[in-house]
Structure 1
Amino acid sequence: MTFLPSSLVKGSVGRRLVSGAGANFLGKVWVLLVQLLFVPVMTAKWGVEGFGVWLMITTIPTYLALSDFGFAMAGGVELTSSVAKGDQDSALKALQTTWVFITSISAIFVAVVFLAAVLWLNLSGSTFAEPFTKSEVFWAICLVTGAAALSLQMTVQKIVFQATHKYALGTILMDLSNFIVSMCVLFSVILGHGIVVAAAVQFVGRLVCALAYMKTRHFYEPWATVGTKHFDKATLKRLFRPSLGALTLTLANSFALQGVVLTIGWALGPGYAAIFATCRMLTRIPLQFSGLLVRASLPELTRSQSQNDPKLTKQLTYWNLRFGLGVLIPSFVLLGILGPTLIDYMSHGEMNAGHLDFLMLGLAAALSGSWTIVGTRLIALNRQGEFAHIALMLYLIVALVPFVSSEDLLLVYLAMILSDAILLYVVNLKDRQ
């Protein structure tokens, strides 16, 4: 990966960045493959409406992730900082406090989703489930929620890999698990099964992968056990403020991603939701690749700032920007030209979108990627609370825009572009302070 300077690549930090970015790249290739396969397979087997229902149900994992109140992110930074300082006692407190909190809150969330699904099942007159039955959608919701809870447990384990210079290993195993589970779901659909079987396959696959992931973590870092012995109230209080910032940022992103899909689906119909989600998926593929180095650099930025190394911190930030923009700008132009042809081919002619749709969504993705790159240095110090509330306000407005659109997504696109432009300005201002 020659985009890094030779002086950085030769050191241990450079090697970890290269391996971490490589692991991220492989993971994104798997994600891209799954995304490109899901659209034609599910629209062919279930129709656009059925695919739209699946997309709406699979927003649940995002909202389950919100139930940790941002503790996974804040706890990961705390754990990385403690390990960098050689303080194992504080590291265990950070890990187990994070695990206890996340496990307790996610259990409550799962129970709430189940009760809400039961209430919805007994409502009459709902057409949300079509072309599936309400009973099928109910069981799919329950199974997808269970799979999401298992995924959250894997996220807690992943912060151990991140904190102990094993970012690449933790990432590639996590992404491999996601790929295997997604492909199993895809094959169940190809074989002609419905939404319940697909959700059941997702749950069982996630269970097997979660157990294997935890076993691997124990093999490499047997000291980093989860439990209640090292749960610490003082650590909980200290993490609460940055975790709220992380929660707010996650909630904001959920409004910008899954929230918009849901409101488009409710206001304009599942068909519109499927078209919008597919177009945006294509325009955000470059965004996923532009973050390869950014994600790998997060623990390194935490260490460099914890150990007071401003030179390395500035160097990491500079190369994050250079690599990220080098991916985003050319991709924005290319998808603006080829996007309509690509979506028509992927959906067997069932979905139609114009060049303007792709240009506007591509611009929004480029702006989003830019402010994310700049904000990484703040996140590495648990300072995400300084801009997260602004992101939440802006993206909430974006999620509500479909309700005032009259069968036209143009206003949604404009709202997305404006919100990301404002965030880029705000995050850049905070980073300079």
Structure 2
Amino acid sequence: MLDRVVGMGLQLALVPILAAHWGLELYGVWAMLATLPAILLLSDLGFATAATVRMTMQIARDEREAARVTLHSASQVVLVAGLAIMALAGAAALLVPDLALSFRSGADPSHLRTALVCLAAYAVLIIGNGLVLAVFRSNERFALGSLLSTFTLLLENGLLVIVVVLGDGIAAGAMALLVGRGMGTAIGLIVAARLRTGMLPGLRRGNRAVRSELIGPALAAMAIPMGLTLLLQGQVVALGAAAGAAAVPAFVAARTLSRIGLQLSQALAHPLIPEFGAASARGNQRGVLRMFALVLTVATLIAVGFALLLAIAGPWIVHTWSAGHITVPRETMWAIALSALCGGIWNPVSNLMLAINRQASFAPALVALAALAVLVTLALGHWLGTMAAALSMAAVDLVMLIIVLRFGLYHWARPPDLYRTVMALAGEARSEAGRFLRRG
């Protein structure tokens, strides 16, 4: 949970800092350029995610050597992906025209080229770091892996804030992220080695057969970040292209604020992913039902409360939080609130589907809907501004909520069973609260 809370806090802190020191236009350029790592994370084709799930289920069945082969097979794919990323980034830095690179903002193209290469290398390190975290998560060291992720987030973003406050620009900011991520990944490797689990990212034990078996779930896993990247980052680029860079900060600020509720519910669901996968692998249907009911109930409570807060006080919160630099139209915030409500429920529940490699049941729909949302924003952004991006994002989240809930109710719990389990969990919560109060 700590990494989610810290990540959320960092997102909130960076908006006013970057907007104040760089100005809205340069900050808008950074927001668009910063979509690059999210896009490049798709280049490993989802192998790191699929390998983590497979390793967790293999270790739950005490198949440690098979898990080691899975990790090394994924490492081979990640190595090729990293080399391809850096080759493409170098070519883009040399060949993209100045006007296209600067998003018509007047930013120094040479600084943007440096930032592009640094952010590409940063994406490569994030992909590699996913394999390091796979070692912790599959060996029931989820808390330790989350702690290391939190440390890396604090380190890289702390360095970013330092260079921004000192007056440096986009190139220095990208370098700061790269250096911080590199240091955090190195520390993660050292700690993983000291666990003596017998598993570290490597190449020697990987084989073609395992890579072939991973292709299906890996491609489906890749579709999830692809869809989310289109929905979250693609919308930013589309809005900037249609309405100009100055329109981007208002949407980014509102969207960042709306993700708080999602991060809170994800903080509950994320630690349950290995447990849910292990319970499913062992055929523990009662455990599967209880975890599904718990995630759905808590996510719904958080999403409803936070969506109401956004609808009522969202514009005021953004204006105050950004020290008056950013103003969000109330109608845009209402659409963002609807997106937060639906997204705050379907995202945590979909994590449970990912835990059993059933992401193919929703990932293709997410990609198609997100791509459609980007096209809508491109078409209507010039006339509707931030409202075009907010409405299209809300529509995607609403449809995804329907798709994910249908899967859960069909595979994990019939409505009567789900209702009884939710009531039982509520009774347990009341009993625990009563005991706590009596002890107090």
Asked if TM exceeds 0.5, the reply is yes
Q: CA deviation at 1:27?
A: 1.8
Normalising to structure 1: TM-score of the pair? 0.91
**Closer, same or farther: CA 322–214 of 1 in aligned 2, 3 Å:** same
SS of the residue corresponding to residue 344 of structure 1 reads helix
Question: Residues 126 and 93 (structure 1 numbering): CA distance in 2 closer, same or farther, change over 3 Å?
Answer: closer
In structure 1, what is the equivalent of residue 20 of structure 2?
A: 44
State how 1:304-315 maps to structure 2 within 5 Å: 304-315=279-290
**Which residue of structure 1 lines up, in the alignment, with residue 419 of structure 2?**
none
* Alpha-carbon shift at residue 414 of structure 1 (Å): 2.6
Match of 2:403 in 1: 426
Q: What SS class does the counterpart of residue 383 from structure 2 fall into?
A: coil
User: Partners of 1:131 and 1:51 in 2: how far apart?
Assistant: 12
2:393 aligns to what? 416
In structure 1, the residue matched to 2:320 is: 345
Give the 3 Å change call, closer, same or farther, for CA 36–371 of structure 1 in structure 2: closer
CA deviation vs aligned residue, 1:173-224 (integer Å, no higher than 9, x gap): 1122111110111111111111222222222222111111110111113510
- Name the SS of the counterpart of 1:226 in structure 2: coil
CA distance in 2 between partners of 1:348 and 1:389 (Å): 40
**8 Å contact from structure 1 (residues 64, 106) kept in 2:** no
Change (3 A) 1:207 1:377: closer
Amino acid at match of 1:417: A
Q: Does residue 87 of structure 2 align to residue 104 of structure 1?
A: no
Describe the SS at the equivalent of 2:283: coil
Residue 236 of structure 1: aligned partner = 211
Tell me the TM-score normalised to structure 2 length.
Answer: 0.89
The counterpart of 2:239, out of the listed 256, 259, 264, is: 264
| Counterpart residue identity of residue 16, structure 2 | P
Give 1:430's aligned amino acid: F
Matches of 1:375 and 1:332, distance apart in 2: 20
Return the offset for 1:55.
Answer: 1.0
> Which residues in structure 2 correspond to 1:380-419 (within 5 Å)?
380-405=355-380, 406-408=382-384, 409-419=386-396
Distance 1:124 1:199 in 2: 20
Q: 1:377 to 1:40 in 2, by over 3 A?
A: closer
- In structure 1, what is the equivalent of residue 226 of structure 2? 251
Cα gap change, 1:125 to 1:330, in 2 (>3 Å): closer
The offset of 1:131, in angstroms, is 4.2
How has the CA–CA distance of structure 1 residues 383 and 213 changed in structure 2, closer, same or farther, with 3 Å as cutoff?
same
Counterparts of 1:218-367 in structure 2, within 5 Å, are 218-367=193-342
Q: Which residue of 1 aligns with 2:167?
A: 192
Q: Deviations over 1:84-122 (max 9, x none)?
A: 1111110111111111111211220221122112111x4
The one-letter amino acid paired with 2:79 is T
Shift of 1:123: 4.7
1:426 and 1:202 map into 2 onto residues whose CA distance is 36
Contact 1:185/1:202 (CA < 8 Å) preserved in 2?
yes
Match of 2:43 among 59, 63, 67: 67
Q: What CA deviation, in whole Å up to 9, does each residue of 1:144-180 have, x standing for no partner?
A: 2112211221111001111111111101111221111
Aligned counterpart for 1:158 among listed residues 129, 133, 158: 133
Moved more, 250-259 or 371-380: 371-380
Distance 1:323 1:221 in 2: 36
The equivalent of 2:430 in structure 1 is none
Aligned match of 1:173: 148
What is the distance in 1 between the residues matched to 2:11 and 2:395?
Answer: 27
Q: CA deviation at 1:125?
A: 7.4
Name the Cα RMSD after superposition. Answer: 1.6
Comparing 42-51 with 333-342, which one deviates more in the overlay? 333-342
State the Cα deviation string for residues 6-57 of structure 1 (Å, max 9, x = none).
xxxxxxxxxxxxxxxxxx2x22332233222212221121100111111111
User: Do the aligned partners of residues 354 and 128 (structure 1) sit closer, same or farther apart at CA in structure 2, a change above 3 Å counting?
Assistant: closer
Q: Pick from 341, 347, 350 the counterpart of residue 372 of structure 1.
A: 347
Q: Is the 8 A contact 1:283 1:358 kept in 2?
A: no
The answer on whether the counterparts of 1:53 and 1:129 sit within 8 Å (CA) in structure 2 is no
Q: Which moved more, 1:289-298 or 1:340-349?
A: 340-349
Q: Do the aligned residues in 2 keep the contact of 1:49 with 1:131 (CA within 8 Å)? A: no
Q: Distance in 2 between matches of 1:72 and 1:58?
A: 22
Q: How far is 1:318 from its partner?
A: 0.6
Once residues 343 and 428 of structure 1 are traced to their aligned partners in structure 2, the CA distance between those partners, rounded to angstroms, is 31
State the 1:349 CA deviation. 2.3
Whichever residue aligns with residue 389 of structure 2, its letter is V
Alpha carbons of 1:374 and 1:225: their partners in 2 closer, same or farther (altered >3 Å)? closer
| Native 8 Å contact 1:70 1:245 kept in 2 | yes
State whether residues 29 and 102 of structure 2, in contact with CA within 8 Å, keep that contact through their aligned partners in structure 1: no
Q: Is the 8 A contact 1:129 1:137 kept in 2?
A: no
- Please tell me the residue identity of whatever aligns with 2:240: G
Once residues 41 and 371 of structure 1 are traced to their aligned partners in structure 2, the CA distance between those partners, rounded to angstroms, is 31
